Structure 1
């Protein structure tokens, strides 16, 4: 067996493992709902900006209006999602990925 064939069989074994399937399940269980929630939030902002101009132009404090606050909250939510994903990956994904990598490395050695 050539090195290339051996490498691909190690990857195929890793992909077929229960651990890899669990890793994919955990990744998708967090990522898909969070992506849907963020896209909904973003589209709401776009829709309000286009069709609810009276609401978006309401002044909250001085020249700061609802549109500006919601726009800034888009940035805040983006950074929060990145931080939350980092925590999720560190606790729920990285340990399984490390196990899969160590098993693959031991098979490849």
Structure 2
């Protein structure tokens, strides 16, 4: 007999599950979506306070200011390659050096761009976000210790 289990089934998810009380689980609702409401776990108050802090908002702002433009530029670069390959086959077939043509150079540049973007992201995170994020982590842990007393 083949039985499928739903993650919301009472036999599958219990209070010991670390994802049970996360923001995405819908605090205040029981497993069926109706009936008595659960109280928010104490950790939720701590995380809500940290989430609303200026330091957390600054980390998010710095992350978004880098990631959104970088992702948009990379997507445009990728789409430009695809459009050029489909609309300008003569240009893409033009030889550059020996058997290496424009399409091959642009394709290799796609790989190079991926590695460059990965390096730039890691550098940005290290220089602009990691220190503040680590401080937030320590603050959160201290708040959790104080909350449990």
Distance, in Å, in 2 between the alignment partners of 1:99 and 1:14 is: 11
**SS across alignment from 1:60:** strand
Determine whether 1:69 maps to 2:105. Answer: yes
**SS across alignment from 1:96:** helix
* Equivalence for 1:31: 67
Unaligned 5+ residue runs, structure 1? none
**Structure 1 residue 5 displacement after superposition:** 1.5
- The alignment's TM-score, normalised by the length of structure 2, stands at 0.70
Counterparts of 1:1-109 in structure 2 under 5 Å?
Answer: 5-109=41-145
**SS across alignment from 2:41:** helix
Distance, in Å, in 1 between the alignment partners of 2:42 and 2:126 is: 30
Bigger proportion of residues as helix: 1
Deviations 1:34-87 (A, max 9, x none): 001000000000000000000000001111000000000000000000011000
Distance, in Å, in 1 between the alignment partners of 2:103 and 2:41 is: 57
Distance, in Å, in 1 between the alignment partners of 2:60 and 2:68 is: 11
Unaligned 5+ residue runs, structure 2? 1-39
Instruction: Tell me which of the two structures has the higher relative contact order, counting C-alpha pairs closer than 8 angstroms and 6 or more residues apart.
Output: 1
